[in-house]
């Protein structure tokens, strides 16, 4: 009875870890997600299949060439499959053919230094470049480049992060995010608070790590 309860608890914990975006792929390696990886280890002339679900029998919906960079948002409970964004949808690829690429991060939060975030209705874009430059644009025009002032991890939620610049505050969270216009599943959600004059603007959207 206790053994069954232990197995059930272990499955629940593993599922929770996947939702949080961090999964032990092996006893030796822990991968912080989301992260950038590169397709590698293929035979000459081969391509890496994109699958609709995390198994080799699932529908083949495309392929990736060796050397392609992708953002991995989550891995399945086995650690064998990684979910990536490709075109207008998300897909699964065999994890053994992906090699982690060093992704510069901000200290102390650990968030990537290069982010592209956006939202729809209204359409807007917010980006962070080299951990320093913050830019924002909307249909009515572009605001000047600002300098990132600070970043931090939430005091009571390890998967939420705060970033601030003179006119913008951002709260990012590692969780599934949908743009409402495609079948992509992003691994970062953002709530953006902007203050200009007498107006307070609150916007919500999704983020990607900029590919090399």
Round to whole Å and give the CA distance between 134 and 164: 9
**Spatial contact of 120 and 179, defined as CB atoms under 8 Å apart:** yes
Which pLDDT belongs to residue 197?
64
Give the whole-angstrom CA distance, residue 75 versus residue 19. Answer: 9
pLDDT value of position 201 = 86
Strand order of the sheet with strand 60-64? 60-64, 48-51, 89-94, 81-86, 69-75, 35-39, 98-100
pLDDT at residue 31, as a whole number: 60
CB 72 within 8 A of CB 80: no
Neighbours of 201 (CB within 10 A): 15
The residue among 60, 91, 78 whose CA lies nearest residue 68 is 91
Give domain 2-100's CATH number out of 1.10.3720.10, 2.30.30.40, 3.40.190.150, 3.40.50.620: 2.30.30.40
pTM of the model: 0.80
Would you state the pLDDT for residue 211?
93
CB 87 within 8 A of CB 103: no
Structure tokens at 14: 């593993």
d(C-alpha 95, C-alpha 39), whole Å:
9
Angle at 154 between CA 149 and CA 160, to 5 degrees: 95
pLDDT at 126: 95
Task: Note down pLDDT in tens along the chain; length 212 residues.
Answer: 444 443 443 443 344 333 333 333 332 334 678 999 999 999 998 999 999 999 999 999 999 999 999 999 999 989 999 999 988 889 999 999 999 999 999 999 999 999 999 999 889 999 999 999 999 998 766 667 999 999 999 999 989 999 999 999 999 999 999 998 898 999 999 999 987 667 778 999 999 999 98
The two structure tokens encoding residue 122 = 């209204």
Domain boundaries, the chain: 2-100, 115-209
> Do 165 and 107 form a contact (C-beta atoms < 8 A)?
no
pLDDT of residue 153: 95
């Amino acid at each position: 009875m206790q053994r069954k309860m232990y197995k059930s608890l272990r499955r629940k914990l593993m599922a929770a870890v996947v939702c949080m975006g961090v999964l032990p792929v092996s006893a030796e390696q822990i991968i912080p997600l989301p992260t950038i990886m590169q397709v590698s280890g293929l035979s000459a002339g081969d391509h890496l299949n994109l699958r609709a679900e995390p198994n080799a029998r699932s529908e083949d919906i495309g392929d990736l060439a060796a050397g392609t960079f992708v953002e991995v948002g989550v891995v399945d409970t086995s650690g064998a499959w990684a979910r990536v964004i490709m075109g207008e949808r998300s897909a699964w690829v065999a994890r053994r053919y992906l090699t982690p690429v060093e992704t510069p991060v901000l200290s102390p939060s650990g968030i990537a230094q290069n982010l592209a975030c956006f939202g729809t209705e209204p359409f807007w874009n917010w980006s962070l470049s080299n951990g320093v430059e913050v830019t924002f644009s909307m249909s009515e025009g572009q605001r000047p480049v600002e300098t990132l002032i600070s970043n931090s991890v939430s005091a009571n939620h390890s998967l939420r992060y705060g970033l601030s610049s003179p006119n913008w505050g951002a709260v990012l969270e590692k969780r599934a995010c949908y743009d409402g216009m495609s079948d992509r599943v992003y691994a970062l959600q953002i709530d953006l608070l902007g203050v200009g004059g007498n107006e307070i603007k609150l916007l919500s959207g999704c983020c990607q790590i900029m590919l090399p």
